[in-house]
Structure 1
Amino acid sequence: MATEKIEHSQLPIRGLNLHIAHIGATGSPTVVFLHGFPEIWYTWRYQMLAVAAAGFRAIAPDFRGYGLSDQPPEPEKASWKDLDDDLLAILDSLSVPKAFIVAKDFGAMAAYNFALLHPDRVSGVVTLGIPFISEAFSSAFTEIPEGYYLSRWRVPGRAEADFGRLEVKTVVRNIYILFSGSEFPNAKEDQEIMDLVDPSTPLPPWFSEEDLAVYASLYEKSGFRYALQMPYRSLKESLGITNPKVEVPVLLIMGGKDYVLKLAGYEDYIRSGMVKEFVPNLDIKFIEEGSHFVQEQYPDEVNELIVSFLKNQI
């Protein structure tokens, strides 16, 4: 794969140097890719090449505190508003008046926030794995067991102790194995999340040891301190958006075997179209064999959906 064609820059953004990966002509329509956890810009390698080949400019930042971007001085004060302000500053720094946003996992939440706060800067949104969920409606998805990783990682110090028993590479490996399954990752009372993965379990066939090495090298640099604050310990932060409605065109791509569909009420919220109450101009596509990492597992199918969506909005 021609990842060597992807260029890298550091941008001075709001007192930090933020890393961006980029490919494509400066004057082309811009697509910004926002990663989730445990991902970094590299998770979008297939999609960046595909949209660039289709005539778009692809930009994939590492969020502050992730990958090759600087750590904020006080990670415990992580804020969704910072992610919003960072993205706005990145677009301004690159003289991009309007962009498409493609996002996954907690990056999808940042993308929807940005579309609500700055609709004039957004041409359209594609999210993977996470639909739009308003603050008022999120109570429908609060039936989360104590042993679920979201519950465990919200507790200061617990994930740090769990991760600290292992090498960084093993932590990333375990999370990729765990999150690529279709089973709800739920630990027993006497277990930690890392205990859910048998050390002999192989990586998913679509994720190589070389891919793992790229992720691990960047988490060895950044650590997990900020990543545990954003998103896990910042999920209840409110941006004060009342009566939210995302008016821009949106495409939601879901893996049919994504474990998050087993959250109470989650799959019905999507498949019934109830989500369209908040996102009226929404198209929903399922890749039925896809996991939480559908963009890496089935890159060709995901690329086709994204490129078709982008071209339909031009």
Structure 2
Amino acid sequence: MENIQHSHVEVKGLKLHVAEIGSGQKALVFLHGFPEIWYTWRHQMIAAANAGYRAIAFDFRGYGLSEHPAEPEKANLLDLVDDVVGLLDSLSITKAVLVGKDFGAFPAYIVAALHPDKVDSVIMLGVPFMLPGPSAIQNLPKGSYVIKWQEPGRAEADFGRFDVKSVIRNIYTLFSGSEIPIAGDNQEIMDLYDPTTPLPPWFSEEDLATYASLYEKSGFRFALQVPYRTLGVDSGISDPKITVPALLIMGEKDYVFKCFGMEDYIRSGAVKHFVPDLEIIYIPEGSHFVHEQFPEKVNQLIIEFLNKQSI
């Protein structure tokens, strides 16, 4: 970890925090989800650097140590596409492997679909190809966290009852399960938290403190806007195709896999309509945080996939 270098790169007038390790010719750019941050990729970054790659992870605008846009409530997921493209240009990277997890998969797909000349391949964890728009939020249970957090001010009030560290602990604990967190009509998502539930064994108090310190810096204002409050906004992209090689790593105990119609969409092969050259690998005990839960396994799968592309 001490070999990871930190800097800020200006993209679209905003200074984005960038973490980087390795000096290989091929670059991997890691895109985090929520409640994650660049740090979520620590295991993968070090493994990629040791395998001869240049590993880059950054905080999306409004997250962690990156700057907020002036009007966060006007932002949407396509702004994160600008972050990725702008970062590649600022770092003089002509082509990269994009690795996206959770909502970080959305900009990875969209960049690959709209700018295939900039992408070697795409690796996705936890979320198969989807576009922002009404279809992305269909089949959601009424009390699910996505529905609850889409209402302006609601999650802010819910989270505001706790310190930042407790919010991150609560979400990591809840989202590590195999069932989607659902609150009753008179409940909020934080009400589901049981303080006697320990952290997952693969997530230390030190990890929690690192996440908390970064969210104390950024708060949750932008994170609730993007992705949650813009997930149903039409992307304006029609019939996208990802023509580069792609890998989807899916934990079979991931609550996302068990809802949203995801399991059928993936297992039936329907996802390959959009991503024809897609390899799908299942990790039977994998949760929503499979890359932190089983880092050595995920690292191996990523490196093997990249090595195959190099042959």
CA distance in 2, matches of 1:312, 1:116: 21
Shift in alpha-carbon separation, 1:289–1:279, aligned structure 2, 3 A? same
* 2:126 alignment partner, one of 117, 129, 134: 129
For residue 260 of structure 1, give the secondary structure of its aligned residue in structure 2.
Answer: coil
Q: 1:287 is aligned with what amino acid? A: I
Distance 1:140 1:215, change over 3 A: closer
Segments of 5+ residues of structure 2 without an aligned counterpart are none
Q: State the alpha-carbon separation in 2 of the partners of residues 85 and 207 from structure 1.
A: 31
Partner of 2:149: 153
Residue 271 of structure 1 deviates from its aligned partner by: 1.3
| Cα shift at 1:190 | 1.5
Alignment of 1:165-314 (within 5 A): 165-314=161-310
Q: Could you tell me whether the CA contact under 8 Å between 1:140 and 1:265 is conserved in 2? A: no
User: 1:64 matched to which residue of 2?
Assistant: 61
Is contact 2:63–2:223 with CA below 8 Å preserved after alignment? yes
When residues 31 and 14 of structure 1 are mapped into structure 2, their CA distance, relative to the original with a 3 A threshold, is same
Per the alignment, in what secondary structure is the counterpart of residue 247 of structure 2? strand
Gaps of 5+ in 1: none
Q: Is the 8 A contact 2:6 2:20 kept in 1?
A: yes
Deviation at 1:80, TM superposition (A): 2.2
1:269 Cα deviation from its structure 2 partner = 0.8
Q: Which amino acid aligns with 1:81?
A: L
For residue 77 of structure 2, what is the aligned residue in structure 1?
Answer: 80
Is the contact made by 2:253 and 2:286 (CA closer than 8 Å) also made in structure 1? Answer: yes
CA apart distance, 1:266: 1.3
**How many Å apart are 1:133 and its aligned residue?**
2.1
- Distance in 2 of aligned mates of 1:237 and 1:264: 17
**Distance in 2 separating the partners of 1:212 and 1:134:** 31
Q: After superposition, give the CA deviation of every residue in 1:213-254 in whole Å (9 maximum; x if it has no partner).
A: 000001001000000000000112223211111111100001
Identity between Structure 1 and Structure 2 (%): 64
Deviation at 1:197, TM superposition (A): 1.1
Is this contact kept in 1: 2:137–2:231, CA < 8 A?
Answer: no
In 1, the alpha carbon distance for the partners of 2:266 and 2:56 equals 28
Q: What amino acid maps onto 2:44 in structure 1?
A: Q
**Quick one: structure 1 residues 310 and 65, their matched pair in 2 at CA, closer, same or farther if it must change by over 3 Å?**
same
Aligned length: 310
C-alpha separation in 2, matches of 1:184 and 1:228: 18
Match of 2:103 among 95, 100, 106: 106
What is the alpha-carbon root mean square deviation over aligned residues?
1.3
Q: Which amino acid aligns with 1:186?
A: I
Q: Tell me the amino acid that sits aligned with residue 10 of structure 2.
A: P
Worse overlay, 237-246 or 168-177:
237-246
Distance 1:90-1:286 versus aligned 2 partners, 3 A rule: same
Cα distance change, pair 70–139 in 1 and its aligned pair in 2 (3 A) = closer
- TM-score relative to the length of structure 2: 0.97
TM-score after normalising by structure 1: 0.96
- Paired residues of 2:106 and 2:132 also in contact (CA < 8 A): no
The residue aligned with 2:48 is 51
